[in-house]
Chains A and B, each alone.
Chain A
Amino acid sequence: MQSIAVLLAVGVVAFSLFRYVGDPINAMVGQDTSMEERAELRTKLGLNDPAPIQFLNFIGNAMRGKFGLSYRTSEPVGRLILERVPATLELSFCAAMFVLLVGVPMGVYTGLYPKHWSSRSLQAVSLIGISLPPFLIGILLILVFAVMLHWLPSFGRGQTVQIGWWTTNFLTWSGLKALILPAITLGVFQLTLIMRLVRSEMLEVMRTDYIKFARARGLTNRAINFGHALKNTLVPVITVAGLQLGSLIAFAVVTETVFAWPGVGQLFIQSVQFSDIPVMAAYLMLIGLFFVLVNLIVDLLYFVVDPRLRSQGGTARVAGH
């Protein structure tokens, strides 16, 4: 339900942008087209049709990847975006791995031993983590590791390998090196969020009756912490983590600008600066689609983890414990 609403809303916003803020004719043809030709095109394209019909046409075109021409480069928007999707997806994937593999264990640890000095210092560091804007983290990383130490590149993807239409960083040494700083930059903010979330959920779960009862049954700490507590912590964490990881793609906008990473985020920023409406509309649809996919995966995971959903046919989502 939620997913459909989001897709619909995103579609309407993208359509309104495309149709009313920008000039769709400009998106289609070059600068040198005459007024008559434009008017003719206008009728031919159905721009004089009622709005709902135009909307349906727009969605139909969008589904076939047709978003018109970029105002800025006069290239088809669909192709522009498709060229840049691999860069963004690979960057986001690395950042997501970094977030999950580091953030969740840190959250579990600080949740289990909240009073320990190392937890307290992690907690303090995490607050610095969410107080540093990502672009600042990127700049500092560049300053230290690229400008001062010359260890890692400060911009671009390095050498990439082409596999079909997909270009990948994963197959060359320089490509992998180029991924490190951007992935950390993109991940740090989410990492601290996930860590703090896991920690507070863990603390919450440790206070529940069933954990107390598990202790009263004499279960080992290992079974309680990593069986009972962790599994219950995961239920609420999955939702938020899913959304957070989904938003990595969007946050890539900033990171890609800092590291001159040739992804869709950078394309979007350029389109905002030039008010390149077709590209903005297409980017919006892309993000919406990605959100819906993430939501689907989250729902499936829920189903696997929480038996209460399985037996009720997955209709009701049980809040709390």
Chain B
Amino acid sequence: MVARSALSGWLHRAADSDVWWSFKSSPMTVAAAVATFLIVAIAFLSPLLAPHTPFDPATLSLSDGLKPPVLISPDGDWAFPLGTDDQGRDVLSSIMYGTRLSLAVSLAAVAVAMVLGIALGLVSGYFGGTVDALIMRIADVQLTFPAILVALLIDGVVRGIISVKRHDEIAIFVVVGAIGLSFWVSYARTVRGSVMVEKNKEYVQAARVIGLSPLLIMVRHVLPNVTGPVLVIATLNLGLAIITEATLSFLGVGLPSTEPSLGTLIRLGNEVLQSGDWWITVFPGITLAALVLAVNLLGDWLRDALNPKLR
């Protein structure tokens, strides 16, 4: 009973809040949210929804190769609505599986960056002094280099350490790690700033006096304060992570062609682009752009909604 009324009270307040109001009053944002949800849902359900299993060689037939999309050309085949690539893979199914992989890698990378960034931010802000200076200096230096370069560098180093064959097996973890490591700075800075402010407040001093562990205080009182900014950064980072993963895969240093993400698909299509078989590249490209656009719109809106200064 109590729980229910608390929940309904919370729902009521949520429905009345400025954030919800700004969400409802922005049709673009609602559209972006719906699009994001649809793309994510379809991608993760691709084993159920996809008409083909494009990366099972047993189901491929070269005679299906390079079929154009149905709506564009009479040569199309309804079994392959968006056409096929030179191996006879269904482009639509490739996209669905590819999106799933792209999303999984990007979400994991954002999670890595978030955990790493928050932890380093807490440590940096709480301990201050040399530790803080060191961490922030590293952050400064890293910010000098675009994330894609940092990720490329990490990838190159890993290639130098392990053999090329093994590399394909662990490629996905390398990519997650490389992107995660290149995005931690903004979380760390936000959390650090908040810790610095809270650290000297009376309630923290008081809690220290009564013998509570200072780190516990930080985690309990500071983290809730930074949920908003961290959420905004994470959303905007997700868009960037998707782009970065796609770029790495496009450059041929990301996910291998046996497990293609959207970026890999675009690279494979790009190799035959000169012959005019555009659909192999363009449809994964559109999907990628739509996904990133929807996520960015959400992130943009979230930033404005949570930043009262701009309202």
Contacts and interface: CB of A to CB of B under 8 A. Distances in A.
Bind each other: yes
Interface of A: 2, 5-6, 9-10, 17, 21-22, 124, 127-128, 130-136, 139-140, 142-143, 147, 154, 243, 246-247, 250-251, 253-254, 257-258, 268-269, 271-273, 275, 277, 280, 284, 287-288, 291
Contact of B296 (A130, A243, A254, A268): A130
SS of B interface (majority): helix
Given A132-B289, A143-B282, A288-B144, A127 B247 contact: no
A154 B274 contact: yes
Contacts, number: 121
Contacts of A9: 137-138, 141
Interface in B248-295: 250-253, 263, 266, 270, 273-274, 276, 278, 281-282, 285, 288-289, 292-293
27 contacts: A6-B140, A6-B141, A6-B144, A9-B138, A17-B160, A127-B293, A127-B296, A127-B297, A130-B296, A131-B289, A131-B292, A131-B296, A133-B246, A133-B289, A135-B246, A139-B281, A147-B273, A147-B278, A243-B144, A253-B148, A254-B247, A269-B251, A272-B152, A275-B156, A277-B156, A287-B145, A288-B144
B34 interface: no
Given A139-B285, A147-B273, A131 B137 contact: no
Q: Interface on chain A toward B: helix, strand, loop, or mixed SS? A: helix
A135 B245 CA distance: 12
B155 interface: yes
Contacts of A136: 246, 266, 285, 288-289
A275 B138 contact: no
Given A9-B137, A254-B251, A257-B251, A133 B288 contact: yes
Interface in B90-143: 137-138, 140-141
Contacts of B302: none
A275 B300 CA distance: 38
Most B Cβ at <10 Å: residue of A124, A133, A246, A275: A133
